[in-house]
Structure 1
């Protein structure tokens, strides 16, 4: 008997909501224009910037969270831009292409 079965026995009236990440990923709006992937240095530290998403802000935040989680790096979402700490252009572009986005590399 695993933990799920034990919890069902203890709380038979509880209704478990199953919301997987796959369902959330499927709801992200795809666009025709490419997402721009740029590299910059701020205060001597490398960063990767993603911009140009025309869908809902919440979808872009979900995408930012997923990218940060997959790469195990820090970052933020500001002014409709995803800012990732470090130079991860190639990996981020591959993640976005696997999801079905058009991505354009800008700069060096």
Structure 2
């Protein structure tokens, strides 16, 4: 006789599977349809410079793989927060060239 899993022991569920209902729909646009802004910031980071790229409309998995490519290109660390990518250090020109090479529309922002 086959053993039942703990997830099969649900007594009552109002709306069926809620996993799909809680997932947020995220568009995954092609690179040419993005309007990205690249800027440097030190605020709230203990005086350390971070290059911030905003304006993405990708799924989290796509952003994570893009962040990995950009970190390797710059030779530094970084992270994905919400819909932005943060790369440690001032790499504005390197990131601008890398993103344009990948087909993204990107501009430098700030001074």
Normalized against structure 2, the TM-score is what? 0.67
Superposition misfits of 4+ residues, deviation over 6 angstroms: none
Name structure 1 gaps, 5 residues minimum.
1-27
Greater helix fraction, Structure 1 or Structure 2: 1
**How many residues matched?**
81
Pick the structure with greater CA Rg.
2
Residue 107 of structure 1: how far off its partner (Å): 0.4
Partner of 1:34: 35
Cα RMSD between the aligned structures?
Answer: 1.5
Residue 31 of structure 1: how far off its partner (Å): 4.2
Q: Is the 8 Å Cα contact of residues 30 and 55 (structure 1) preserved in structure 2?
A: no
Name structure 2 gaps, 5 residues minimum.
1-28
Partner of 1:68: 71
Q: Is the 8 Å Cα contact of residues 68 and 75 (structure 1) preserved in structure 2?
A: yes
